[in-house]
Amino acid sequence: MERMIIDMDEVIADPMGDMIQWYRKEYGKDVDYDKMKVGSWLAGFPSEHQAIVSERLHSVGFFRNLPLIEGCVPVIEGINDKYELFIVSAATEFPNSLKEKLDWLLEHFPFLNWRQLVLCGDKRMIVGDHMIDDHARNLIHFPGQKYLFNTPHNVDVTGYKRISNWEEAAEIFL
């Protein structure tokens, strides 16, 4: 069975979408997607509100209540039947997120178990046959097939196969 490594944030969970929706509601303003191209969706928020956005990102409950990226659940279920699947999330920067990510994953993907989650800070020690991630910095060290999952902060990144959405992922892997 080939091993598949799938990222969490911006790939199956949607912290950016949740933050944008909250920001529009709180401040009546939109984000600047162009500014995200430096490699971080946080950069899309006006500089005067960076601190409050970062504070919310670190707060208790934020990662527990995130929406799903559209269409991922049935495709992940199919991948889980066909591959040795691990969900690998760079999470130790956010201490409150650790248990919340585990609880969130087991709620939305009841066919997965605790053995399939990896919470780390750096992904350079992870190996497998396929890896789907939204950050080139996580893919760069990976020895297997690398897939960059489309999101506004990586539109300018070149040199990787891309996956636009979970429908496309199903076509590739299922």
Residues forming the active site: 7, 9
Nearer to its own copies, 85 or 148 (CB): 85
Kindly state whether residue 64 participates in binding its own copies, applying the rule CB under 8 A.
Answer: no
Q: Which of 17, 39, 108, 116 binds its own copies (CB under 8 A)?
A: 116
Kindly state whether residue 5 participates in binding its own copies, applying the rule CB under 8 A.
Answer: yes
Kindly state whether residue 103 participates in binding its own copies, applying the rule CB under 8 A.
Answer: yes
Q: Strand 145-149 and strand 3-6: pairing?
A: unpaired
Q: How many Å apart are CA 74 and CA 72, to the nearest integer?
A: 6
Is-contact 116 86, C-beta < 8 A? Answer: yes
Phi-psi region at 84: left, alpha or beta (left = phi > 0; alpha = psi -120 to 50): beta
Residue 79 CB, nearest distance to its own copies (Å)? 15
What are 121's two structure tokens? 């800070």
Kindly state whether residue 3 participates in binding its own copies, applying the rule CB under 8 A.
Answer: yes
